[in-house]
């Protein structure tokens, strides 16, 4: 059965233009998000929409919580199931969850199990995954015969297949754990604003979606039908 996944990431919402980064249209983020939601609700109709962090540009701004509340009001209009994750620009998880809602342990749709991860921020805008969450990956695969879809902010790619600016400080441990799972996996991330094309390593695939806040203002659509995965960037309509 086909499953449509919409991936929106890196809005970097700000109450005013972002100093020193003119390409990052954070002041337009809620308008861009609303355009994406209209396209998703009226035309694409995904089974699930995942929003993978950096909702706001600066968590230390006085208006940061207000910005999150505005975005949350827009996200509430989505007709699909929704998972929202924090990114390294967002407030700490306790504040983020208070406004955006708690993160589910997992969601099953058709033969897919969507598993979000709240990973630790590391220097250089990298991340690491805890031993408890690595164990959780194994526990959630037990007794499940379908494909696992891992959701996170920071990209995770095998270094021999793709090179981005960011990755995991415990990458070798994490890749070993993923490859040991009996299930095929798809890892979806954001953070790398240009996006990164899907790569395949054995039964496992890895992709990063583009930032909504930067021209040409795109989000990622993924359609999964058994072993077949189709990925396409969707540019917002004027």
Range of the domain at 44: 3-235
pLDDT computed for residue 97 by the predictor: 95
**For residue 116, what are its two tokens?**
């979000």
User: Among 196, 114, 185, which Cα is nearest to 154's?
Assistant: 196
Lowest mean pLDDT among 19-23, 48-52, 183-187, 226-230: 19-23
Mean pLDDT of all residues belonging to the chain? 95
Query: Is this structure's pTM higher than 0.75?
Result: yes
User: In sequence order, what are the residues at sequence separation of 6 or more whose Cβ sits closer than 8 angstroms to the Cβ of residue 85?
Assistant: 50, 51, 52, 53, 103, 116, 117, 118, 151, 152, 153
The CATH number given to whatever domain includes residue 64 is 3.60.21.10
What proportion of the chain, given as a percentage, has pLDDT over 70?
Answer: 98
What is the C-alpha to C-alpha distance for residues 129 and 147, in angstroms, rounded to an integer?
20
In contact, 177 and 134? CB cutoff 8 Å: yes
SS3 state at 167: coil
Q: Residue holding tokens 């095929």?
A: 184
How confident is the model over 48-91, as pLDDT tens digits?
999 999 999 987 766 788 999 999 999 999 999 999 999 999 99
For the segment 139-165, the average pLDDT, to the nearest whole number, is 95
Partners of 223 in the beta sheet?
4, 230
Does the structure show a pLDDT above 90 at 22? Answer: no
**For residue 233, what are its two tokens?**
């960037």
pLDDT computed for residue 16 by the predictor: 82
Number of domains in the chain: 1
Partners of 8 in the beta sheet?
51
pLDDT computed for residue 58 by the predictor: 81
């Amino acid at each position: 059965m086909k499953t449509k996944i919409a991936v929106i990431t890196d809005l970097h919402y700000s109450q005013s233009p972002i100093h020193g980064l003119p390409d990052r249209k954070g002041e337009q983020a809620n308008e861009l998000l609303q355009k994406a939601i209209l396209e998703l609700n009226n035309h694409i109709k995904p089974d699930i929409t995942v929003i993978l962090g950096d909702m706001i540009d600066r968590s230390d701004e006085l208006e940061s919580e207000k910005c999150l509340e505005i975005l949350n009001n827009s996200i509430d209009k989505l007709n699909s199931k929704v998972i929202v994750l924090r990114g390294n620009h967002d407030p700490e998880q306790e504040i983020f969850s208070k406004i955006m809602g708690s993160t589910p342990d997992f969601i099953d749709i058709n033969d897919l199990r969507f598993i979000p991860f709240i990973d630790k921020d590391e220097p250089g805008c990298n991340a690491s995954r805890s031993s408890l969450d690595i164990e959780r990956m194994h526990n959630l695969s037990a007794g499940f015969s379908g494909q696992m879809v891992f959701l996170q902010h920071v990209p995770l790619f095998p270094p021999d297949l793709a090179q981005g600016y960011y990755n995991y400080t415990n990458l070798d441990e994490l890749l070993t754990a993923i490859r040991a799972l009996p299930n095929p996996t798809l890892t979806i991330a954001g953070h790398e604003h240009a996006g990164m094309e899907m790569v395949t390593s054995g039964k496992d695939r890895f992709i990063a979606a583009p930032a909504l806040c930067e021209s040409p203002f795109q989000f990622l659509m993924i359609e999964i039908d058994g072993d077949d995965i189709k990925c396409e960037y969707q540019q917002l309509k004027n």
